[in-house]
Structure 1
Amino acid sequence: MTPRDVVFPAGRQALYEKNRYSPAIRSNGFLFVSGQVGSRPDGSPEPDLEAQVRLAFQNLDAILSAAGCTFDDVIDATVFIVDPESKFETIWKVVSEHWGGPPHPTLTGIGVTWLYGFQLEIKVIAKLPEGRAGA
């Protein structure tokens, strides 16, 4: 088995180790990013919904940056939302600040009942820039 080529953003490795997962793994020219939430440095949820969504994207951007990517390299996104009927408009207003212009990545949106105290989680797959393809 080939060792996983894990990407850690600066300053959050202890949080990932505590929760026993990798923030992202490079493989065959792609970056597979674990679901990111609007967590503070200690892992607790940001209580304000708009601030939580912004923080989720900041956490995502930190991982993408650590791998030499930006959101423009994202080709597929999955968004999980607790109670999307009541929160979608607020969340999507903030998402549009980070999503960028067309062409947009593919998107799957999933309504869920629980996200460990968070209201949104986003996981993505990005195409790695040439020379950073990983194992």
Structure 2
Amino acid sequence: MKRDHINAMNAPQPSGGYSQAVSIENFGRLLFVSGQIPMTSDDAVPEGFTAQARQVWLNVDAQLKAAGMSKTDVVKVTTYLADRQHVVENREIRKEYLGALAPAMTVVITGIFDSAWLLEVEVVAAQ
């Protein structure tokens, strides 16, 4: 698969570990991962944003692995935050998981389905 990160010079430059656009060619499969919530497999919701964000990325990782993929296949991330006060912490935890990867990204501040959840993350992956 060929992946290109596109950041037009005549538009705002990305900050925080993402690309303005990602082009993929010669891929064989796309995986659309539904919004992953901060809940463990035994239905526990961790306390606090940091623990919830780490749980969400563990859940994303589990879905990717179940499909025979990994985080290196992620090309798009959409994050829904319950409160903008978590923007910086969200970026830091996302970077812990993604490292140097720079997928296309959107962050939306919105109401979340369950008021106990502080975020939800969906991804698109390609191989």
TM above 0.5, yes or no, is yes
Q: TM-score, normalised by structure 1?
A: 0.68
Match of 1:59 in 2: 59
Match of 2:105 in 1: 107
Match of 2:40 in 1: 40
Residues 24-67 of structure 1 show CA distances to partners (whole Å, capped at 9, x for unaligned) of xxxx7111101002202232421221011111101110110111
Match of 2:96 in 1: 97
The 8 Å contact of residues 72 and 100 in structure 1, kept in 2 or not, is answered as no
Local SS of the residue matching 2:76: strand
Local SS of the residue matching 1:126: strand
Unpaired runs of 5+ residues, structure 1, are: 1-27, 129-135
Q: Separation in 1 of the partners of 2:100 and 2:126?
A: 17
- The residue type equivalent to 1:90 in the other structure is E
Q: Separation in 2 of the partners of 1:31 and 1:99?
A: 17
- The residue type equivalent to 1:53 in the other structure is A
Match of 1:124 in 2: 123
Match of 1:70 in 2: 70
RMSD: 1.4
Q: Separation in 1 of the partners of 2:34 and 2:112?
A: 17
Shift in Å, 1:75: 0.7
Match of 2:16 in 1: none
Structure holding more helix per residue? 1
The 8 Å contact of residues 82 and 115 in structure 1, kept in 2 or not, is answered as no
Local SS of the residue matching 2:32: strand
- The residue type equivalent to 1:83 in the other structure is D
| Percent of residue pairs bearing the same amino acid type | 29
Local SS of the residue matching 1:63: helix
Q: Separation in 2 of the partners of 1:64 and 1:87?
A: 25
